[in-house]
Structure 1
Amino acid sequence: MKAVRVHEFGDVSNLRYEEIETSEPAADEVRVRIHAAGVNPVDYKIRQGAPFPIDLPWIPGWDIAGVVDEVGTDESEFEPGDEVYGILPFPGDGGAYAEAVTVSPTEGKLSQKPESLSFEEAAAVPMAGLTAWRSMQLTDLQAGQRILIHAAAGGVGHFAVQFAKHRGAHVIGTASGSNEEFLRDLGVDEFVNYREERFEDAVEPVDVVIDAIGGDTFTRSLEIVKESGVIDNLPLNLTPEQEVAADGHGIRVVQADTLDREWLDEITEVLDDGTVAPTLDTVFPLAEAQQAHELSEEGHVRGKIVLKTSEGDEN
């Protein structure tokens, strides 16, 4: 089968499209013929050499959508022919940038693919969608509350906007001016062009902040969160000083790196009923993973980047 592998960490030239052996599933695993794989910022950060428990050569990626073609002797949940999507064990070895992968459905958080989505659309959901869904749980966002979502047009952000609106919240999103119409269509009630104004000057106090940026953005967000409010710091990059400052403002900070499998089933429901939809920025052939990483590294992706395999080309 074809796969993209990294043999040494560094720039995009280290992504090699090559032929490797197709693995067989263990007793508790299924093999999925991957039709599409989602691209996330963590992929290029590890490729660049970010500390992560990865052995080389490494196949990047965690988001997959495809068809089960073989099941292990102890696996009873899925059958050959099932259309599935999900996230490979994270943190873990990845393996999504390939034409097939073996995975335990429980550890890999697999679910039946939403009938309403193409494989490419489904591959855009798992990591970003689960992260945004987790934010809704951790912050306990309620109807009528005010929520500020930073980087609202990005992968996590554009799902968070839709989930927050689904909960009945008043949604404020920050992004560049070119994304205003896109975010208005998704449902934001207020838009802040971060290139033209400081959000802390433009926004009235909020109950919840979803911070996908961290650093100075987190510190400035403390100024507009109500006492007893909450910030979800997605990059997990707070300094001790920032933690003390948040405590001094009476603000609860949540940080987590776990994603629950049952959330994917819940997300599937709101995808299939049309409440939420993924946005695809660009779909690249698997062989063009280098171009996909170059676009991802620019940091201005609207929605998600997806890689399509030759399996996907057959449909």
Structure 2
Amino acid sequence: MTEFDEKFNNIVIELSTLGKVYRNKEVVIKVMRVLPREWDIKTIAMKESKDLNKIELYDLFIDLNVYEFEINSRNEEEESTSITTQALVTAEEPPASTSVKSVEQINDDAMPLFVKKFERINLFYLNNLQKVKWGEVNMIEAERRLLANALLDLSNERFVLLSEACIPLYNFPTVYSYLINTTQNFVESYDLAGAVGRGRYNNRMIPIVTIDKWRKGSQWFQMGRSLALEVVSDCVYFPVFQKHCRGQCYSDEHYLPTFVTTKFAEGNSNRTLTWVDWEKGGPHPTRFVGKDVSVEMLENMRVGSKCEYNGKGTSFCYMFARKFAPDALQSLLRVAPMLMGFVS
């Protein structure tokens, strides 16, 4: 796709110097027409969810590069699970129909393979659940306990904290590839002046935690095994937060950002992989319900930002999103098959 991007851009530039200038929509359609048939799902989704007159060529190829990454990740996964996948097809099953499938059929087709892939994941359950309260230090205690239990499985290399209000923005092979191939941890960390940033700092934390190292960030982290081990074994910084970061301090927003920035800043990206909407203000992010869900909204979450991944600029910034209400599930299931490439 990168080579195609360069060649196509060169042709467009050369034509413009000769006096032939194309409108955005014309250029976009020309690109879509030459894509392979397996890209039809993507082009159809773009035509339905975007105004082709407003798509810049640069943004178009960013979107296509992301989709190419997804296809390659999915193909690699399917190659490694070809025997398992074949077991889902019985000898009596007729050849696949070429007719367009309904949303219900797509969901029925996608779910067995989706579940089959997750059967290889080792699950663990905590017998004694820990009660937590929003904003309290016991949330950090629970997160450390989760990490400690997950670390007991030596095959676990990446650790992601999610809640029931989070959703994946990409299929499993894509998320797995993104996490396993990264060179960094994803713990959001930034210095914020004012009452909800430095204003929460407690001078009693000195000398272990100083104001210049005080950071804020999202609690929804994604980290590697080495950092996870450091977090659960921390007996210096965490006791300080237990004692002096209570009430309006909201330790879940400050402990990990401060700890990681102070001790392991070099290996951290200072960003989270979980998309949230804070535009409405207040103590909680926007909560999406069923009527809010659309392909356009999810596409914006997927490729509507700019960031760095392994030192290179990309719009491929978020693997997850929140905050979704339970009644959004059916709407999400309707758009997910096409968006994530579950259509066979």
Do both share a fold (TM > 0.5)? no
Which structure dedicates a bigger proportion of its chain to helix? 2
Scaled by the length of structure 2, the TM-score of the pair is 0.25
Relative to the length of structure 1, the TM-score reads 0.26
Q: Determine which structure has more spread, i.e. the larger CA radius of gyration.
A: 2
